[in-house]
Amino acid sequence: MKLTLRHVSKIYEETRAVDDVSLETMPDSGVLVLIGPSGGGKSTLLRLIGGLEPPTNGEIFHDGTLLPTDEIELQSFRRKNGFLFQNFNLFPHLSALDNLILPLTKVHGMEKSPAEDTARQVLARFDLEQHAEKMPVQLSGGQQQRVGLARAMAHQPGLLLLDEPTSALDPEMKAEVLDVIDELRQEGQKIILTTHEMGFAKNIGDEIVFLSRGKIVGSGKSAGLFQNPPSPEIEQFLARVMKW
C-alpha cells in the first residue's frame, strides 16, 4: 500500500480540520495507524483518504493513482474498499445476516443466493454464525462491531479503513475486536485505522502518523516512533497515554 498526500487540507467554515498535510508511506506498509489527541484531525483525514469526503485543497494518491474528485468515480473507488466507524452503523431493522446481504446485492451487484452464501461464510469467519438471524439490539457491543467488520470485509476490499473501532467497547469486547483486526493483518489485509489504543497501535502498525491540530507532527515506523518520539509533543502525548 503506497499512499501519497500532497498539501491536503479540509476546511469547514473557519475550522481547518486537516491543515496542509503531506505524507508518503513506504510501499510495503500493510497497516497505517493514525494517532494523536482527540480533535486532532485523525477521523477527517481517514475520510479523505477513503474518498468519503473531497479535500478542500491538495491531492491524494493510492498506489500512484490520483484519487478522483468526480462523485461517480469516487463511488467506484469506495466500492473497492471497506469502512467501519465508531458507532457500528448497522441497519437496526435488519438481522446480522441481512446487514451483510444488503450491501452485497445493492452496492456490489451480487445475486441474492450467492450473496447469502458469502455473508454466511464471512459471519462464520468472524465466529458469528450462531448470531446470523439476530437483530443488532440482541447483540453485544463487541458482536455488533464484529458484524460491522464482517460487513466491511464481505466483498474482499482492497483497503480496510477503521475509525476508532473499539471506542465504544468495554475492555473484554475491545480485546475481542482487536484480535480480529490483528488476524486480518496477519492474513495480508491492507488497513488504515485511527485508534487511542497505543499498545495496539505499536504492535499492529507498520507506520504511525501523529496528528495534532490538523497537522502531521511526526511519522515513521512503529518501533522507531514509539521508542524515539520525533518531537516533544509526541513524547509528552505517549508518556501521558501509556502511563498506566
Is there a domain that residue 44 lies in?
no
For residues 126-148, average pLDDT: 93
* Co-location of 17 and 4 in the same domain: yes
* Co-location of 104 and 135 in the same domain: yes
Is there a domain that residue 184 lies in?
no
> Crossing angle of helices 96-106/112-125, nearest 10°?
130
* Co-location of 108 and 69 in the same domain: no
For residue range 156-209, list pLDDT tens digits in order: 999 999 999 887 788 888 888 888 899 999 999 999 999 999 999 999 999 999
* Co-location of 69 and 99 in the same domain: no
Q: What is the mean pLDDT of the chain?
A: 93
Last residue of a domain, one of 108, 133, 157: 157
Query: Where residue 203 sits, what CATH number does that domain have?
Result: 3.40.50.300
Is there a domain that residue 170 lies in?
no
Alpha-carbon gap, residue 127 to 183, rounded angstroms: 13
Is there a domain that residue 165 lies in?
no
* Co-location of 76 and 86 in the same domain: no
For residue range 75-112, list pLDDT tens digits in order: 899 999 999 987 768 999 999 999 999 999 999 999 99
For residue range 50-63, list pLDDT tens digits in order: 999 999 999 999 99
Predicted confidence (pLDDT) at residue 119 exceeds the cutoff of 90: yes
Percent of the chain whose pLDDT exceeds 90:
77
Last residue of a domain, one of 157, 188, 208: 157
What pLDDT is attached to residue 244? 64
* Co-location of 112 and 55 in the same domain: no
Predicted confidence (pLDDT) at residue 69 exceeds the cutoff of 90: no
* Co-location of 114 and 139 in the same domain: yes
Name the domain count of the chain: 2
Domain holding 204, by residue range, is 1-39+51-80+198-244
* Co-location of 214 and 242 in the same domain: yes
Is there a domain that residue 164 lies in?
no
* Co-location of 19 and 62 in the same domain: yes
- What letters, b where the CB count within 10 A reaches 16 and e where it falls short, cover 87-104? ebebeeeebbbbbbbebb
Predicted confidence (pLDDT) at residue 224 exceeds the cutoff of 70: yes
* Co-location of 73 and 2 in the same domain: yes
Alpha-carbon gap, residue 27 to 233, rounded angstroms: 27
Residue of 139, 132, 181 whose CA lies nearest to 160: 181
* Co-location of 14 and 65 in the same domain: yes
Which position has the higher pLDDT, 180 or 117?
117
Is there a domain that residue 171 lies in?
no
* Co-location of 71 and 110 in the same domain: no
What pLDDT is attached to residue 177? 85
Is there a domain that residue 46 lies in?
no
Is there a domain that residue 238 lies in?
yes
